Amino acid sequence: MHANDQFYVDGAFQADKAREAYFQMMERFGYPVVEKLREEMWALDFGLGDFVNVGMAGIFWCNDKEHGYFGHEIFLLPGQMIVEHAHEETPEAAAKMEAWHVRHGKIHTFGEGEETRPCPVELPDGQQEFITVRHAREVVPGELDSLNRPGAKHFMIAGPQGAIVTEYATYHDNGALRFTNPAVKF
């Protein structure tokens, strides 16, 4: 199990240490770590200082504005949450539509719809006041889930082993990201 102090030095997030934790998870899952992944994978804590609960790593395999498609691999450590967000329409792109294909581990996706009770996972205390969508679905290897409409608010949280998730989506415009937690830095 990881602890936040493993990933911070004097309060500064250590992305290199986070990347190593993800590479160890990939090795455990038997996921191939190709050179491009080692070179281009990024890791972040959303500027919240709570990486073990709220963070992620990823790589954009493709992001084609001209033809409107996007391929992304998402890496989550055990119990880690991607903070709630939406992808709005911008002058550069339509509101993003996306689907998630679990490759290893499992996730719970949360989105618009009737609240799932009881909540199937423990959500990070530091995010409770910023969560506006509570319809949950468990997604296991080989299954897919998707937004119920382009631009919908959503988040996901990894299961106890972590998760590797392939995202299929329309073009991703970073300028379209809107987080419900105003403290998020991306």
Q: Considering the entire predicted model, what is its pTM?
A: 0.97
Q: Are residues 136 and 108 in contact, defined by beta-carbon separation less than 8 angstroms? A: yes
What structural domains does the chain harbor?
A: 4-179 (2.60.120.10)
Task: Give the span between the Cα atoms of 38 and 23, in whole angstroms.
Answer: 9
C-alpha triplet 122, 51, 39: angle, nearest 5°: 130
Q: Which residues contact 118 (CB under 8 A, 6 or more apart)?
A: none
pLDDT score, position 186: 82
- The pairing of beta strand 81-87 with beta strand 177-179: antiparallel
Residue (of 126, 127, 93) closest to 110 by Cα position: 127
Tens digits of residue pLDDT in 135-176: 999 999 999 999 999 999 999 999 999 999 999 999 999 999
**Which residues of the chain register pLDDT less than 50?**
none
Per-residue model confidence (pLDDT) at position 95: 97
